[in-house]
Amino acid sequence: MTLDLYIIKEGKHLRCGYTTGSCATGAAKAAATMLDTGKIIKYIEIDTPANIRLKLEVNNPSIEGNRATCSIIKDAGDDPDNTDGIEIYATVSKRDDGQIFIEGGRGIGRIKRKGLFGEIGEAAINPVPREMIQKEVKEVSNSGYDILIFAPQGEEIGKKTFNKNIGIEGGISIIGTKGIVYPMSEEALVKTIYMEVDMLAESQGKDNIILVPGNYGEKLSEELGLKEGKVKISNFIGDSLLYVYNKGFKSVTLIGHIGKFAKLSIGVFNTHSKICDGRMEAFIYYLALMGAPMELLNRVNDTITAEEGLNICIDSGYGEVIRHMEKGAEDRIRKYLKDENYKVKVIIYSMEKGVNIC
């Protein structure tokens, strides 16, 4: 059933949903209930770690001897979630020893790297969903259960997620620390970045790491011959830098577009436009330090995009402003990390001119 829970994000009312962990829990509890009663059910209720009780519609129910199967359809609410609408199934059979075993089947990813929430080769079912499943099926009866969680669409949908980047292959993950999907959750994005950093630390060591806001920076790093592992960090520059630094990486390289890194050069560590603009202010600050004439400052101040501002600087003989911004960003990062000797390299590019700007 649709969850009647809303949050306000960026001035909009956004509907919450429920996680793959809640879906797996609901499917497992519903199947155990059908197995225990011998009756098909239409709905199942479960508790979540967020202290919100969910009433979930049961789909595709069946009972065959000592085994019952059903599914719950994932509802991500207004969150742009690739797993929205996926069917999470559970097949449950009874055991005689009172123990509960949970396994992942078709469409559930497998852990391929150390440092995640399980051992290599195990199904990607996170600890909180495992605890939820155990708790809810124990409410049905004291019997033991073998529980198989699977998702027929999982292998294909898993390709659209970040799973491969964090060492999970072959399907989706059963996740969710609260059981509820809060739309456009920054916390979830930052956790994914941390997991990617952990994976690189494990696989390549901690000499250097490359941080890029998006796909173009990632591609550009390859063209520049930078071989270290890369992590896409979106707008979360400050969170990512602090994590990398405290993780013990000896140095960091950042590659980003002038539109974002102009902000970084004046100390903005979350570059989302809702947090701060400051692009043209950055140009004016560094141009002023270079002794640029007021006429140029006014022209740049009247521009709308960073690319346009940069082109005016180049045409006026002040293309070196980009180098000043790079150095300024490096200095700001060291101050942010409170380590004046930390090795930082910032590379700023233009979509029109690449990195060879001046």
312-341 residue pLDDT tens: 999 999 999 999 999 999 999 999 999 999
What type of residue is 257?
H
Residue among 8, 3, 192 nearest 84 (CA):
3
pLDDT 10s digits, 122-138: 999 999 999 999 999 99
pLDDT-derived band at 80, boundaries 50, 70, 90: confident
- What is the rounded average pLDDT for all residues in the chain? 91
To the question of pTM greater than 0.75 for the whole model, the response is no
Judge residue 259's burial from the number of C-beta atoms within 10 Å of its C-beta, 0-12 exposed, 13-18 middle, 19 or more buried.
buried
Instruction: Please give the Cα distance from 210 to 81 (Å, whole number).
Output: 26
Mean pLDDT, rounded, for 243-267: 95
- Give the pLDDT of residue 5: 82
Instruction: Please give the Cα distance from 34 to 66 (Å, whole number).
Output: 10
Residue 71 has pLDDT above 90, yes or no: yes
pLDDT-derived band at 207, boundaries 50, 70, 90: very high
Mean pLDDT, rounded, for 261-288: 92
pLDDT 10s digits, 137-179: 999 998 899 999 999 999 999 998 888 877 899 999 999 889 9
